[in-house]
Chains A and B, each alone.
Chain A
């Protein structure tokens, strides 16, 4: 079914944001695991940095990602007139 251009634009912006955040999620998870030995050469708060990322850093990134998405989308809803209230 053809959808109005405005709605299509809304959906594409959503997809772009989702893709970007998934990319960050991927880096925070799999890139950190893959390179953990190299990251461990640095020290942060007394932790080897790779160890720190896996035990705290990546978790903080996840929380931030979900927060960003909620904020971005709730604004986008308003802008494109698809908000619920």
Chain B
């Protein structure tokens, strides 16, 4: 069977499965549409959250980032798992007890009125939209590569797949599709790594064996980093960069030249050892790197605990008790992948450092040229010795996971499986994000603010039309192939952390927090965060304490927190209704009017 057919069959089978589940779960019930009828058992909600959470970036990009940045990439591993501790301890059980449909719902009820709800809707859309564009972009990338169709067609095929699920059955269909998608993506992630581990170490448990492999990588690094030919290649790249820069004679460079220059300088730079934390020339750079690592981990964690599409999932369990258990299953299923990514990075690095580096360029394996064709692998024999030095090989982070089956010499079927897994990761996250945006518009804006008397069928129709519109706008954005897509995704975490986290957590744990505090806190948090990241990224603002724009939430979140507290204390205490609501959320079940008895 030809490789193309393996690709078609995997795509058709998985899309067919998702569409089938979508059709079977179609619903006209408003509670099923928004919160899956609150009947999703903890384990399955955990899997669905796992699929929700594990996006194209986690599945395809994560191991590649770890491969390229070594220890310093690990901020993502910590941030994207540790955030669920905050979800479990600070939010999920209370939101479940509150038991409405969206996150702006909670803000609206707790802080009485549409102002808090409106700010919430705005921030939810801001955080979710860039994120969903990135997912659709990922879908386009994978389907165009494995189906041989062009990128734009790939995007619209993907969007059709997303809409089949969400339009017909809302949250209910999405939940059950995501359960299937989780199973596919985790198998697709684990199979090639386990086989690679078996091949390198004779033990199929990459998590245990990668420590020894890491030692070998560290040994090997010493040889190849200091190889005279490697040093020569780096010097040649540096010279080429200098020549290019000198050719500009102080004139502003075109974007293309800038890119070439950055590329050459990256190749000329000394590689850093995989296991070394915060490599740097002097103590000060190392300390800044450590500070950035901590700031990024903190932003990702707090952002995780404030992203509406994740929090929304805990509305769907049958009880508070199951909501708590469901966060456990979520973090369990999610960490299966994050546990594996660092091991995968080490194993692939071992293969490349021992098998590729130092071998003849004419005899490189076939996968190199296959991925070079799509521009993800680049080989430049700058010193013309016919041997591959480390500096002469450039890998795009996305290639690591997608090419692992070929690197490990596995049959093409495994590549098809990996592609199907990546697609499942991107589709499932996109599903949830689109539904979050459409719900914010249909439920919070239309039903709660514009037309509270709307009938159920009308609300469903409005919701589905909005879903379609949002999907098309997102697909259109993705088809423009925006450059900054990955950094925009990381921003979503800072935005969510700054805008939502203070108002949500204080809303539950501090009865005194009031409407004015929450609204100004959300606005200030979001404002500081956007000011910082736009200032640093686009206007050359000097970073505060050397913190990069990706961790803008480091300033936005505390600013928001402080504002909520100060403004709340300066304005009158919230009404009795708000205090009662907080009490209501804190106890899973108040039998026999336990509160009245106390009052």
Taking Cβ atoms with an 8 Å cutoff, the residues of A that contact B are 1-4, 7, 10-11, 14, 18, 21-22, 25, 28-30, 33-34, 36-37, 40, 44-48, 50-52, 54-56, 58-60, 62-63, 65-67, 69-70, 73-74, 77, 81-85
Taking Cβ atoms with an 8 Å cutoff, the residues of B that contact A are 71, 74, 77-78, 81-82, 84-86, 88-90, 93, 207-208, 210-215, 275, 277, 290, 293-294, 297-298, 301, 319-321, 324-325, 327-328, 331-332, 335, 338-339, 342-343, 576, 579-580, 583, 586-591, 594-595, 597-599
Contact call A18/B89, Cβ cutoff below 8 A: yes
Contact call A84/B321, Cβ cutoff below 8 A: yes
Report A14 CB to chain B, min CB distance, Å.
Answer: 8
Report A16 CB to chain B, min CB distance, Å.
Answer: 12
A58: B residues at CB distance < 8 A: 78, 82
Report B463 CB to chain A, min CB distance, Å.
Answer: 29
**Is chain B's interface secondary structure helix, strand, loop, or mixed overall?**
helix
Q: Among the interface residues B85, B298, B319, B325, which one has the most CB atoms of the partner chain A within 10 A? A: B85
B588: A residues at CB distance < 8 A: 77, 82-84
The answer, among B215, B589, B595, for a CB contact under 8 Å with A84, is B589
A62: B residues at CB distance < 8 A: 81-82, 84-85, 331, 335
Smallest CB-CB separation from A11: which chain B residue? B586
Tell me, in angstroms, the Cα distance from A12 to B327 when the chains sit together: 22
Q: List, sorted by A's number, 30 A–B pairs whose CB atoms are closer than 8 Å.
A: A3-B583, A4-B594, A7-B595, A21-B85, A21-B89, A25-B82, A25-B85, A30-B294, A33-B78, A36-B277, A40-B277, A46-B215, A47-B275, A51-B214, A51-B275, A51-B277, A54-B71, A54-B78, A55-B342, A56-B207, A59-B335, A60-B335, A63-B328, A63-B332, A65-B89, A74-B324, A83-B589, A84-B321, A84-B588, A85-B319
Contact call B214/A33, Cβ cutoff below 8 A: no
Tell me, in angstroms, the Cα distance from A40 to B277 when the chains sit together: 9
With contacts A36-B277, A77-B588, A82-B589 taken as known, whether A1 is within 8 angstroms of B576 at the C-beta atoms is: yes
B342: A residues at CB distance < 8 A: 55-56
B89: A residues at CB distance < 8 A: 18, 21-22, 25, 65, 69
B90: A residues at CB distance < 8 A: 18
With contacts A11-B586, A18-B89 taken as known, whether A70 is within 8 angstroms of B328 at the C-beta atoms is: yes
A29: B residues at CB distance < 8 A: 78, 82, 297, 301
A34: B residues at CB distance < 8 A: 290, 294
The answer, among B214, B335, B343, B587, for a CB contact under 8 Å with A82, is B587
The answer, among B85, B290, B339, B598, for a CB contact under 8 Å with A56, is B339
Tell me, in angstroms, the Cα distance from A37 to B290 when the chains sit together: 11
B74: A residues at CB distance < 8 A: 54-55
Q: Among the interface residues B77, B88, B294, which one has the most CB atoms of the partner chain A within 10 A? A: B88
Tell me, in angstroms, the Cα distance from A2 to B342 when the chains sit together: 51
Smallest CB-CB separation from A46: which chain B residue? B211
Tell me, in angstroms, the Cα distance from A52 to B598 when the chains sit together: 51
Smallest CB-CB separation from A76: which chain B residue? B588
Smallest CB-CB separation from A67: which chain B residue? B328
Contact call B211/A52, Cβ cutoff below 8 A: yes
The answer, among B81, B301, B319, B328, for a CB contact under 8 Å with A59, is B81
Smallest CB-CB separation from B318: which chain A residue? A84
